[in-house]
Amino acid sequence: MLYAIIATDAENSLEKRLSNRPAHLARLEQLKSEGRLILAGPHPAVDSNDPGPAGFSGSLIVAEFESLFAAQQWADADPFRTAGVYVSVAVKPFKLTLP
């Protein structure tokens, strides 16, 4: 089943985000190589694809997992979570309707 992982960044976490980005992306690349990643990306803190020093307000990942528990475990082990980039993470079942 698909699950949406909806994360909110801690304030002033851009430096932590940038330093932990390679490890975060490696985990996403693994999901992608397994054919389980639907989409992933950050929410810019301002209305721009390149928010510069404003940074990001959070992230959205939609991926396939065996269960809600497995999705939550994966989210909890994310480098952004363990490094304190994410102040909160919600994991919810997701039903893809379009496209």
DSSP 55: -
Name the residue among 39, 78, 43, 41 with its Cα closest to residue 57. 43
DSSP 77: T
Residue 88: strand pairing partners: 8
3-state secondary structure of 13: coil
**Which amino acid is residue 11, in one-letter code?**
E
Residuewise pLDDT in 10s, the chain (99 residues): 999 999 999 999 999 999 999 999 999 999 999 999 999 999 999 999 999 999 999 999 999 999 999 999 999 999 999 999 999 999 999 999 998
Tell me the residue ranges of DSSP E strands in 1-99. 2-9, 37-44, 56-64, 86-94
> Which domains does the chain carry?
2-94 (3.30.70.1060)
For the entire predicted model, the pTM comes to 0.95
